[in-house]
Amino acid sequence: MKMIKTVLAATVALGLSQAVYATELEVTHWWTSGGEAAAVTELAKAFDASGDKWKDGAIAGSGGTARPIIISRIMGGDPMGATQLNHGKQAEELIAAGLLLDLTEVAEKEKWREVIKPVSLLDSCTVNGKVYCAPLNIHSWQWLWLSHKAFADAKVEVPKNWDELVAAAPKLEAAGKVPLAVGQQPWQSAGVFNVMAIAIAGMDSWKAVFVDKKAEVATGAEFAKVFAAADQARKMSAKTNVQDWNQATNLVITGGAGGQIMGDWAQGEFQLANQTAGKDYTCLPGLGVNEVISTGGDAFYFPVVKDKEKTEAQKRLAALMVSQQVQVAFNLKKGSLPVRSDIDLNTANDCMKKGLKILADGKILPDVNQTLTPDTVTQIEDLIVEFWNDQKISPADAQARFAKIISAEK
Amino acid sequence: MAATQQPRPAWLKNMSAKLASIPMVFTALVIFVGCTLWTVYYSFTNSKLLPNSNFVGLDQYTRLWETNRWLVSVENLVIYGVCSLILSLVLGFLLAALLDQKIRFENTFRSIFLYPFALSFIVTGLVWQWILNPEYGVQHLVRQLGWTSFTFDPLYNADIVIYGILIAGIWQGSGLIMCIMLAGLRGIDSEIWKAARVDGIPTWKTYLWVVIPMMKPVFITALVLIASGIVKVYDLVVAQTSGGPGIASEVPAKYVYDKMFQAQNLGQGFAASTMMLLSVVVILIPWAYLQFGGKRRG
């Protein structure tokens, strides 16, 4: 009798503990393109395998569409289990309002401060000594993707840097190609501009403007060159009739466009189309001029929830995201760089290896989202997208307006 | 004759009706008036993601009117508003007048014209994005028919993009106006038509000088419906162009949304929405005066 009782009790306890452990977390993110979705599946698989349940809350559209939804859900008292956000200034006020979960305990247990490289990623998650987000990957914007097919069709050599691409533009156009594919969404032209700013103005001038907010550098000769180059770029991209970034990448994959300036997430699309770096396409970090990459990236934040079990599950998910096996599986699919250097990425392709090397050399810059407030970022976006589409705005005018926005940032 | 009962004070009349309307009055006061005042109040602060009470005076408004994107938005709204108001009324009335000629299959035509109204603005916008896309839509079709130099790409031309949006807006909205107008036309006494015919007045003159003036209330209803649709136009733009090319098809409602949620600058968004409210008030007050002031005179 006693035996049966024990067995029963054990079964009940087992059943209970399982029920407690298998907590469902809704995870919101905006990874919906082919390559991105494949990477998210890796995360979901790992989380489900650990005994919890991943409830996918993908929000279609870019971060610009998804962020407002995410933020209003957190603020409106309907928090999800975990959510993607770019780390940096976007979440600062949510943290100040006490809406996000403090992950310091997880970070200490998993020794994040020792394993996460570059440590600046963790710093962006840290406010007043407390960790509020789990960095998942490093994304850099500074890549120029070139289609070998387009250049073969136009009978020109595949360029090795930005200037060669500009020189090849007339021939590409004559062959009916768009020299530079830039989708219509505002963040894309703004991103291209930032990449050109780093590559053409150089690291020091870029830092002076985007980190130290020195308006006199923004009006100076170095940035005049940047706007002149942006002027060329907008002419080269004028015939792109697509909206989304992956449609623009697709133009490069199919040889309809010569190149695209886009972050390393474009890598996933090339992979999905079974293209090989070096054979079907070439990637040039820093436009082949200045080989630096900015280390922005995706991070996951965990809103404060009342349910204790959910809080525990949130912490488990945070630890899982930074763990070695998830870092490898996720980043290989996503085409982004891992946040830790103690893992083996032998299977990474040429482009990722280039990125890893630059990272190891320490030629890194913070991402715009880490140095400027969202308000300033959108103002620059508005300006650039206007400049990009309206040939009547001269580079000098645009530069003056740009300097004004920079000097207004406090 | 002596009054057997004191007349009850005016405010006690219809007690039950007044009691029943209290919840609605309360809702209107708290939700509409209260939230409006709240918004106006915080438009004078430098609130970012969360509202705060750091007053900065008129800074948000100065910045607003110095921002090119806002100016473009306002200009677009004026063009869209004026065109959509005139075209909706004219088209709606013409369609209604044509349907009113005792034609066959009136029900079928009425359904066809009203059908677009059953679609949301998002669907309308997406449909017209495809129709107006130069690679797949009208331009492609006409070129295939042989006119190879035909160009029609309003959504990719900054100078005329707002008209591309206007087409979709009119397509969606004129059916409803037609229905209202048709109801108005049916409400005109047939004796009036007979009298006009006896006097030998041509049909078009009867419409213009007799029927339309008699339909004033119907026109005002239509006007209010169209006007409220104009001020809040947002989803149509988002679905069709997301404000592009460049900022050429931005509208004020989109500016408000983007500033509040994307730029995390509530103050700026509130300032813009206060300006939108102001424009509505400027239109609403003369209308209310005409409408209610007129009744008192009558």
In a domain, residue A5? The reply is: no
**């914007």: which residue's tokens?**
A141
Statement to judge: residues A325 and A395 lie in one domain: no
Contacts of B68 in chain A (CB under 8 A): 382, 386
Q: Nearest by CB to B261, which of A72, A185, A379?
A: A72
Report pLDDT digits (tens) over A248-289: 999 999 999 999 999 888 888 888 888 888 889 999 988 888
**């107006």: which residue's tokens?**
B132
Q: Between residues 91 and 130 of chain B, which touch chain A (CB distance below 8 Å)?
A: none
Q: Is B140 on the interface with A (CB under 8 A)?
A: no
Report pLDDT digits (tens) over A398-407: 999 999 999 8
Statement to judge: residues A318 and A272 lie in one domain: no
In DSSP notation, B52-72 reads ---B-TTHHHHHHHH-HHHHH
In a domain, residue A333? The reply is: yes
Q: How many CB atoms lie within 10 A of CB A211?
A: 14
* Predicted local confidence at residue A186, as pLDDT: 77
In a domain, residue A19? The reply is: no
Say which amino acid occupies B279.
S
In DSSP notation, B251-279 reads -HHHHHHIIIIIS--HHHHHHHHHHHHHH
Statement to judge: residues A52 and A189 lie in one domain: no
Q: Is A153 on the interface with B (CB under 8 A)?
A: no
End-to-end CA distance of chain B: 33
Statement to judge: residues A347 and A389 lie in one domain: no
In b/e form, how buried is each residue of A274-299, taking b as 16+ CB within 10 angstroms?
ebebeebbbbbbbbbbbbbbbbbbbb
**Rounded to a whole number, what is the distance in Å from the CA of B131 to chain A's nearest CA?**
14
- What is this model's ipTM? 0.72
In a domain, residue A157? The reply is: yes
* Residue A236: C-alpha distances to residues A228, A257, A316, A363 (Å): 13, 10, 48, 29
Percent of chain B with pLDDT over 90: 33
Give bridge partners of residue B222 from the DSSP assignment. Answer: none
In a domain, residue A3? The reply is: no
Q: How far apart are CA A39 and CA A316, in angstroms?
A: 19
Instruction: State the CATH number of the domain containing residue A196.
Output: 3.40.190.10
Statement to judge: residues A196 and A330 lie in one domain: no
Statement to judge: residues A286 and A395 lie in one domain: yes
User: Burial of A207 by CB count in 10 Å (0-12 exposed, 13-18 middle, 19+ buried)?
Assistant: middle
Q: Taking CB atoms and an 8 Å limit, are B259 and A378 in contact across chains?
A: yes
Statement to judge: residues A38 and A179 lie in one domain: no
* Residue A366: C-alpha distances to residues A151, A369, B201 (Å): 33, 8, 79
Domain extent at residue A188: 143-292+369-408
User: Burial of B164 by CB count in 10 Å (0-12 exposed, 13-18 middle, 19+ buried)?
Assistant: buried
Coil, helix or strand for A283?
strand
- State the average pLDDT over residues B231-244: 86
Q: Taking CB atoms and an 8 Å limit, are B262 and A386 in contact across chains?
A: no
| pLDDT confidence band for A242 (50 / 70 / 90) | confident
In a domain, residue A9? The reply is: no
End-to-end CA distance of chain A: 75
* Predicted local confidence at residue B155, as pLDDT: 84
- The first and second tokens of residue B111, run together, are 């359904």
Structural contact between residues B214 and B149, judged by C-beta atoms closer than 8 angstroms: no
In a domain, residue A11? The reply is: no
Nearest to A184 by CA among B156, B140, B139: B156
Statement to judge: residues A131 and A170 lie in one domain: no
Statement to judge: residues A212 and A325 lie in one domain: no
Instruction: Give the count of domains, chain A.
Output: 2
Contacts of A388 in chain B (CB under 8 A): 246
| pLDDT confidence band for A21 (50 / 70 / 90) | low
Structural contact between residues A252 and A281, judged by C-beta atoms closer than 8 angstroms: yes
Nearest to A122 by CA among A309, A392, A289, A321: A321
Statement to judge: residues A265 and A182 lie in one domain: yes
For chain B, domains (ranges, CATH) are: 54-297 (1.10.3720.10)
Statement to judge: residues A38 and A117 lie in one domain: yes
* Predicted local confidence at residue A185, as pLDDT: 78
Report pLDDT digits (tens) over A319-375: 999 998 899 889 888 888 888 888 877 777 788 888 888 888 888 888 887 788 888
In terms of phi and psi (left: phi > 0; alpha: psi -120 to 50; beta: otherwise), the region of A143 is beta
Nearest chain B residue to A390 by CA distance is: B246
Statement to judge: residues A345 and A333 lie in one domain: yes
Report pLDDT digits (tens) over B82-98: 999 999 999 999 999 99
In a domain, residue A15? The reply is: no
CA B257 to chain centroid: 18
